[in-house]
């Protein structure tokens, strides 16, 4: 850093190596949290990263609330200095700070809960900036849930982008709710609208018994009746009663609305490429939310979206959702309207990043 700027390609390469080193510690027989990731603790030999000085590292099973840590301000996670229990997400923050340092040449002198977005002054792509911003979230539940997730997103930046629309692909995004009328359909249509701004072949699939599409169809004139796929306000839609064996959906990103979680639809939901569960957190909704969480507790790749919550309620919820990726659904009166607002962009951008990572693993980049 003192001799020359580091290129983005090098930054990503070093970031991936650091992820591998930290992941090795996290997945060891007794998981180790490194805690104090900083430039002084990293050496580079012939392009290979070496992690040194384990003076601050601790076994995860020995950590507890009010724990005292040896850590470096500006590099270690905020919860470490509040004597809260550190975990894998604390090291995710540390890796994010190293990425930030390699981009800007600086460390963060102030990262408080009032800062929602880190401004990167150095040369940095928007995608890398989004990754760094997520790592450096003040609240651990808003960061990557594990180093594995961070590594996957960094890996996706190593490949040159191409036009996705001309590729043959099949990708399923499944949405399901902990109870009826929790907002699954509303969110599904919001997501379709947002994704359609980036990809052409987005389709909403009605995988429940609500007959939503037939009800919407009756409100519009001039719909195409020659194909099974309907187009309403620019969104392609397909219901259970319309789909046939001859329908070819391989060229679509399929947003599948399963409605309420049941034993019947659980298997199909879990099999999807990207899984989103809508939960409630009010007193009368917690029974259903807790039941849904128990049913899916062994599936770590689910995104949890909370509906009808204000900011303070959401922060209380996040404390009990450790290691899970949680988001608050933004208000939108018209799910098929043009705009979703800044907060809507933030949560849907996460889905976009997951789609890009899936495309990459399927060899479509």
Could you tell me which residue, 9 or 31, shows the higher pLDDT?
Answer: 31
Same domain, 131 and 266: no
Q: Determine, yes or no, domain membership for 152.
A: yes
Length of the chain: 365
pLDDT value at 244 more than 60: no
Residues 138 and 255 in one domain: no
Whole-number CA gyration radius for the chain: 22
Least confident of 80-84, 111-115, 139-143, 280-284: 111-115
What tens digit of pLDDT does each residue of 153-209 get? 998 887 543 344 444 457 899 999 999 999 999 999 989 888 887 777 889 999 998
Q: What is the mean pLDDT of residues 219-245?
A: 64
Question: How confident is residue 107, by pLDDT bands cut at 50, 70 and 90?
Answer: confident
pLDDT of residue 81: 87
Task: Give the angle subtended at the CA of 156 by the CAs of 135 and 154, to the nearest 5°.
Answer: 30
Q: Higher-confidence residue: 2 or 155? A: 155
Out of 106, 129, 156, pick the residue that ends a domain.
Answer: 156
Tell me, yes or no, whether 116 and 221 share the same domain.
no
Instruction: Find which of 144-148, 236-240, 321-325 is predicted with most confidence, using mean pLDDT.
Output: 144-148
Average model confidence (pLDDT) for the chain? 81
What number is the average pLDDT over the span 48-57?
90
Whether 120 is covered by a domain: the verdict is: yes
Question: Are 142 and 183 within one domain?
Answer: no
* CATH number for position 184: 3.40.50.300
Please name the residues in contact with 271: beta carbons below 8 A apart, sequence gap of 6 or more.
172
Which of the listed residues 156, 186, 213 is the one where a domain comes to its end? 156
252 within a domain of the structure (yes/no): yes
Q: Examine the domain organization and report whether 142 and 16 are in the same domain.
A: yes
Same domain assignment for residues 246 and 140: no
What percent of the chain lies above the pLDDT cut of 70? 82
Check whether residue 242 and residue 319 sit in a common domain.
Answer: yes
Q: 180 lies in which domain range?
A: 171-361
Residue 312 and residue 205 share a domain:
yes
Q: What is the pLDDT of residues 349-365, one digit of tens each?
A: 778 877 877 665 554 43
Residues 223 and 295 in one domain: yes
Categorize the per-residue pLDDT at 243 as very low, low, confident or very high, splitting at 50, 70 and 90: low
Q: Is residue 163 part of a domain?
A: no
The residue from 109, 132, 156 where one domain ends is 156
307 or 319, which is more confident: 307
- Give the residue, 277 or 337, on which the prediction is more confident: 277
The fraction of the chain above a pLDDT of 90, given in percent, is: 33
Residue 50 predicted with pLDDT over 70 = yes
CB 133 within 8 A of CB 126: no
The verdict on 265 and 356 lying in the same domain is yes
Contacts of 166 (CB under 8 A, 6+ apart): none
Contacts of the segment 359-364: beta carbons below 8 A, 24+ positions apart: 359/164, 359/167, 359/169, 359/171, 360/155, 360/156, 360/159, 362/169, 362/171, 364/164, 364/167, 364/169
Nearest in space to 329 (alpha carbons), one of 364, 303, 290: 303
Map tokens 């030999």 to a residue.
45
- Residue 1 lies inside a defined structural domain of this protein: no
> What CATH number did the domain enclosing 116 receive?
1.10.510.10
- In the chain, the number of structural domains is 2
pLDDT in the model for residue 167? 45
pLDDT score recorded for residue 316:
76
pLDDT at 159: 55
On whether both 312 and 265 belong to a single domain, the answer is yes
Is residue 303 one of the residues assigned to a domain? yes
Q: Are 246 and 288 in a shared domain?
A: yes
Is 292 within a domain?
Answer: yes
pTM of the full predicted structure?
Answer: 0.54
| Range of lowest pLDDT (75-79, 158-162, 337-341) | 158-162
Has residue 63 been placed in a domain?
yes
Q: Are strands 274-279 and 202-206 parallel, antiparallel or unpaired?
A: unpaired
Q: What burial letters (b/e) apply to 82-94, b meaning 16+ CB within 10 Å?
A: eebbbbbbbbbbb
| Pairing assessment for the beta strands 58-59 and 32-33 based on DSSP bridges | antiparallel
180/233 Cα distance (integer angstroms): 25
């Amino acid at each position: 850093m003192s001799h020359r700027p580091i290129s983005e390609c090098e930054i990503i390469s070093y970031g991936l190596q650091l992820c591998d080193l930290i992941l090795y510690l996290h997945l060891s027989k007794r998981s180790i949290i490194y805690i104090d990731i900083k430039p002084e603790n990293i050496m580079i030999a012939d392009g290979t990263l070496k992690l040194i000085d384990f003076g601050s590292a601790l076994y995860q099973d020995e950590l507890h609330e009010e724990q005292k840590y040896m850590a470096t301000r500006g590099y270690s996670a905020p919860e470490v200095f509040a004597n809260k229990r550190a975990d894998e997400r604390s090291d995710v923050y540390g890796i994010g700070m190293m990425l930030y340092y390699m981009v800007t040449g600086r460390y963060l002198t102030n990262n408080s809960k009032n800062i929602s977005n880190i401004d990167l002054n150095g040369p940095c792509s928007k995608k890398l900036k989004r990754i760094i911003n997520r790592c450096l979230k003040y609240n651990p539940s808003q960061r990557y849930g594990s180093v594995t997730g961070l590594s996957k997103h960094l890996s996706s930046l190593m490949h040159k982008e191409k036009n996705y629309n001309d590729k043959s692909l099949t990708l399923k995004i499944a949405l399901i709710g902990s109870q009826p009328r929790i907002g699954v359909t509303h969110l599904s249509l919001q997501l379709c609208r947002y994704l359609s701004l980036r990809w052409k072949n987005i389709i909403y699939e009605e995988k429940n018994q609500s007959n939503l599409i037939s009800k919407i169809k009756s409100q519009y004139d001039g719909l195409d009746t020659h194909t099974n796929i309907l187009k309403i306000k620019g969104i392609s839609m397909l219901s259970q009663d319309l789909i046939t064996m001859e329908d070819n959906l391989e060229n679509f990103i399929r947003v599948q609305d399963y409605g309420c979680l049941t034993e019947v639809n659980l298997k199909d939901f879990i099999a999807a490429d990207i899984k989103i569960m809508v939960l409630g957190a009010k007193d009368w909704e917690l029974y259903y939310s807790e039941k849904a969480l128990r049913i899916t507790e062994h599936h770590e790749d689910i995104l949890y979206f909370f509906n009808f919550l204000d900011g303070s309620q959401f922060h209380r919820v996040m404390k009990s959702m450790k290691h899970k990726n949680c988001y608050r659904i933004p208000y939108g009166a018209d799910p098929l309207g043009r705009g979703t607002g800044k907060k809507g962009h933030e949560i849907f951008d996460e889905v976009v990043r997951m789609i890009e990572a899936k495309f990459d693993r399927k060899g479509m980049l």
